[in-house]
Chain A
Amino acid sequence: DIQMTQSPSSLSASLGDRVTITCRASQNINNDLNWYQQKPGKAPKVLIAAASSLQTGVPSRFSGSGSGTEFALTISSLQPEDFATYYCQQSYNTPLTFGQGTRLDIK
């Protein structure tokens, strides 16, 4: 299985801050990396697909980058609705695997 490792596991930030979450794959996954946002009691929602493709309806303050084994999700200016848990997921091969999650809360 491909192991996905996110850092940090948790992060405290303020409104307007720029934050970056990283995701490392245990082997090359090209750009087959997706980012999800999950709020308490809700299903995950895809933000970024194929490493850098912003999904329809997702605010432009979210961006994704990387390829191979190193990836990043950046939020350029934190808004109140962005405080949530974020997961990366590889779709390079099965079993599909997720990172352990990064919990983003208000400082």
Chain B
Amino acid sequence: QVHLQESGPGLVKPSETLSLTCNVSGDSISTHYWSWIRQPPGKGLEWIGYLHYSGNNNYNPSLKSRVIISIDTSKNQFSLQLTSVTAADTAVYFCASGGHSDWLDPWGQGTLVTVSS
């Protein structure tokens, strides 16, 4: 059974870089596409982007200039970096399997990141 777990700082200062990691267990990270999704408090879901270990990636144009998704096959994990954050980037960030012409399943439990000085 595949399990995903996000980790990273819960508080980031404005203009700094948000960095999160998703640890994957129960499957090889080389097998699938992997996505990041976020959800501002009390609001809906926004797909951030996906990555495959082959290097094929795709980012939401609304965030593309500030996003990097990377993968570490040796640790079976993938990461999200979002630069120049503002209060508008405050959200619960989820990692998930899939996103390349398919559904997102499973998801990590999510981690709240607050952007504040």
Q: Are A98 and B107 in contact (CB under 8 A)?
A: no
Kindly state whether residue A61 has any CB partner on chain B within 8 Å. Answer: no
Q: Are B94 and A98 in contact (CB under 8 A)?
A: no
1/0 per residue, CB under 8 A from B, across A1-37: the answer is 1000000000000000000000000000000101010
Q: Are B99 and A96 in contact (CB under 8 A)?
A: yes
Kindly state whether residue B53 has any CB partner on chain A within 8 Å. Answer: no
Kindly state whether residue B26 has any CB partner on chain A within 8 Å. Answer: no
Q: Are A49 and B102 in contact (CB under 8 A)?
A: yes
Which residues on B sit within 8 Å (CB–CB) of A84? none
Kindly state whether residue B27 has any CB partner on chain A within 8 Å. Answer: no
Main secondary structure, interface of A, reads: loop
Q: Given B44, B45, B103, which contacts A46 in the complex, CB threshold below 8 Å?
A: B103
Bound-state Cα–Cα, A1 to B59, Å: 13
Which residues on B sit within 8 Å (CB–CB) of A36? 104
Size range of the chain A interface in the assembly = 20 to 34
Q: Are B45 and A44 in contact (CB under 8 A)?
A: yes
Q: Are A43 and B108 in contact (CB under 8 A)?
A: yes
Main secondary structure, interface of B, reads: loop
Size range of the chain B interface in the assembly = 20 to 34
Question: In the assembled complex, how far is the CB of residue B107 from the closest CB belonging to chain A, in whole angstroms?
Answer: 4
A interface, CB within 8 angstroms of B: 1, 32, 34, 36, 42-46, 49-50, 55, 87, 89, 91-92, 94-101
- Going nearest first, the 9 A-B pairs with the smallest beta carbon separation are A43-B107, A96-B47, A34-B103, A95-B60, A98-B45, A49-B103, A46-B105, A94-B58, A46-B103
Name 25 interchain pairs, CB-CB below 8 A, sorted by A. Answer: A32-B101, A34-B103, A36-B104, A42-B110, A43-B94, A43-B108, A43-B109, A43-B110, A46-B103, A46-B104, A46-B105, A49-B102, A87-B44, A87-B45, A89-B103, A91-B99, A94-B47, A94-B60, A95-B58, A95-B60, A95-B61, A96-B35, A96-B104, A97-B47, A99-B44
